[in-house]
Amino acid sequence: MAFVLHVDATVVCAHRGRANPILPYARVRVSGRPVVTTATKYGITACSLSGSGTPPCATGHFTTGAARVRAGGFFLATMAGYGVCVPTATPLTPTMSQTRVSAS
């Protein structure tokens, strides 16, 4: 069991850039906020690779999440899920989320 991610969960790229969900699933809410599914794309800002010559993390998404719980036909993203950034293929890591609802 892992806590479900919602729109205000803190998610970062490997270079400490802030990831924000672009289109969360608004019909299901936890702690009053829309949930995030594995279909939700993230926009990444302030990636520390900016200006380094290497392309910075621009977007990301979770490839794994809850194995049993879905919203809108897609599995929920969880704190234990695995996310990947594009174009760097580095991890997308949740660091803080709500602590009332968990899913497996």
- CA dist., res. 13 & res. 89, Å (int): 10
Tell me what the pLDDT averaged over the chain comes to. 95
CA torsion sign for 92, 98, 103, 104 is: positive
pLDDT at 54: 80
Task: State percent of the chain over pLDDT 90.
Answer: 92
The tokens for 102 are: 């968990």
Note the pLDDT tens digit of each residue in 33-78: 999 999 999 999 999 987 777 899 999 999 999 999 999 999 999 9
CA torsion sign for 53, 57, 80, 98 is: positive
pLDDT, mean of residues 81-98: 96
Task: State percent of the chain over pLDDT 70.
Answer: 100
pTM, 2 dp = 0.92
pLDDT at 103: 96
Q: CB neighbours of 69 closer than 8 A, spacing ≥ 6?
A: 4, 75, 76, 103, 104
